[in-house]
Structure 1
Amino acid sequence: MPEPRTFRDEPVSFVRRSGRMSEAQERAFAELAPRYLLDVPRDVAWTSVHPEARMDPAEEYGRVAPLIVEIGSGQGHAIVSAATERPDDDFLAVEVFRAGLARTMLDADKAGVRNLRLIEANAPEVLSTYLPEGAAAEVWIFFSDPWHKKRHTKRRLIRPGFGDAAARAIADGGLLRLATDWEDYALQMREVLDAEPLFERAFDGDWAERFDGRVMTAFERKGIAKGREIRDLVYRRKPRA
């Protein structure tokens, strides 16, 4: 029998860091994870998703409602704000950094948010297998790591092949929203998604208007302060045959 795999076939768009969490963040995992954090069966790595695992949104949220998925939710500022303002929608935050997940849970609990769940996992695996096909009304990817050094660009999340995973997870007519403050990455995003046969542009001109549902975060302000232009893109999932 062959030895079991201990590594992924593809590079991931992140590097795990072992930053220390504060006492409040540690307490968030102990007290709030049962409410917010999904318990996901793993495959070959701690942030992997077993290919046979499936999420049941109706069971997790206790209702049937539009599902918005944010990839790389960071400290959760955007998704907690959106979940607070849109109680009739359900939200799923996908993040690999525990400190960010803890902060998101703390802020969600403070705001009384109950329509939000979190998952600690590699995003492409969530999109390509864990979510039911067509489950997401929208997928948000705001300021993902640009991996600006040339030797690292293979780690970028939005690269050829990503469209297949995103298209599987998004409902017909659903939206893929992106934003970045790194020009080279914005150009790559647009090139990759323009070439995807399952998506079409949902904007006119070179770039989309700023998504008014994206709260202004300290990260975005920092990019603007450094003179970097924020570029938005939005693509619509074409109807399935």
Structure 2
Amino acid sequence: MTETKTLDENQLPDNTDQEQDSAHHRKIKSFVLRAGRMTTGQQKGWDVIFPKQGLRLEDGLLDLETTFGRKAPLVVEIGFGMGLSLVEMAGNEQDKNFIGIEVHRPGVGSLMNESDKAGLSNLRAFCDDAVEVLARCIPDNSIDRMQIYFPDPWHKKRHNKRRLVQPEFVAAILPKLKQGGVLHLATDWENYAEQMMEVMSAAEGYKNQAGDQNYSPRPDYRPITKFEKRGERLGHGVWDLLFEKV
């Protein structure tokens, strides 16, 4: 994800807290849906490229070798934003297959357009809820690396329960990882980093690659985005967590 997805709660209707809190207890979701117009490039990516390179929830469980036309390590990213960093990673690691999951059409359109311009054949995308995609489309024991970068921090304490990284969600990811596969989390909110560490340290089946309660240095494969560079200039920290399936 190239930017933290933060929605100003003051823009929401007065009853949103009540409705979303109720929905949270009914069903986990990995996103908050926001409207947005597409640029010409994003529209092209959605209209022209996505029908060829996109993946659809209703098609069910993927045959990954058929999907990519080859057998290769699989990297999945949840919430890739406009997709620029994911395109960069797919271009740098062409020995791997990449699947991005993003619910916002402008972002998916952007990813598809940029992927096409880069001539990539190893990148596919879903425009659907990651919870549903994991449950219905991703085979067990198939993912070498799962990436969740800069998810919405829901920084107000009363909204922390809406954060994506929760015990039930990381438990749902575990069976999709290969043995030795890695869940890589990154955030620029220290409080969220602490929550991530708490959740992951308590989760069964995971081991912190940096050692108990330690954050990891940023791996070379994760690009530093303009958003992150701006945060660093302002003195903001970034925390990476790499937990391995054991």
TM-score (norm 2): 0.85
Aligned partner of 1:147 among 154, 157, 162: 154
1:111 alignment partner in structure 2: 118
| Structure 1 position 184 matched with structure 2 position 201 | no
Listed one character per residue, the Cα deviations across residues 60-79 of structure 1 (whole Å, up to 9, x for unaligned) are 10111110001111111221
* Residue segments in structure 1 that go unaligned for 5+ positions in a row: 1-5, 42-51
Query: Residue 233 in 1 paired to residue 241 in 2?
Result: yes
Residue matched to 2:55: 38
1:171-229, CA deviations, whole angstroms, 9 ceiling, x for partnerless residues?
Answer: 00111111100001000001001001110111146210112101111221232233210
Name which of structure 1's ranges 145-154 and 170-179 shifts more when overlaid on structure 2. 145-154
Aligned residues: CA RMSD: 1.9
- What is the rounded CA distance, in whole Å, between the counterparts of 1:231 and 1:80 in structure 2? 22
Query: 1:22 aligned to 39, 55, 58, which one?
Result: 39
The total of aligned residue pairs comes to 223
Unaligned regions of 5+ residues in structure 2, if any?
A: 1-22
The answer on 1:211 being equivalent to 2:219 is yes
How far off is 1:103 after superposition? Answer: 1.0
Match of 1:70 among 48, 56, 77: 77
Contact 1:13–1:145 (8 Å) recurs in 2: no
**What do the CA deviations read for 1:65-104 (whole angstroms, capped 9, x no partner)?**
1100011111112211111111111000011111111111
Q: Deviations over 1:107-145 (max 9, x none)?
A: 111111010000011122222332000110110111011
Q: Which of 21, 43, 59 is residue 66 of structure 2 equivalent to?
A: 59
More helix by share: 2
Tell me, yes or no, if the aligned pair for 2:190 and 2:237 is still in contact at 8 Å.
yes
Identity %: 39
Q: Work out the CA distance in 2 between the residues paired with 1:14 and 1:104.
A: 18
What's 1:123 paired with? Answer: 130
Instruction: Check conservation: 2:45, 2:111, Cα contact below 8 A.
Output: no
**2:32 counterpart letter in structure 1:** V
The normalised TM-score by structure 1 is 0.87
Higher relative contact order (CA 8 A, sep 6+): 2
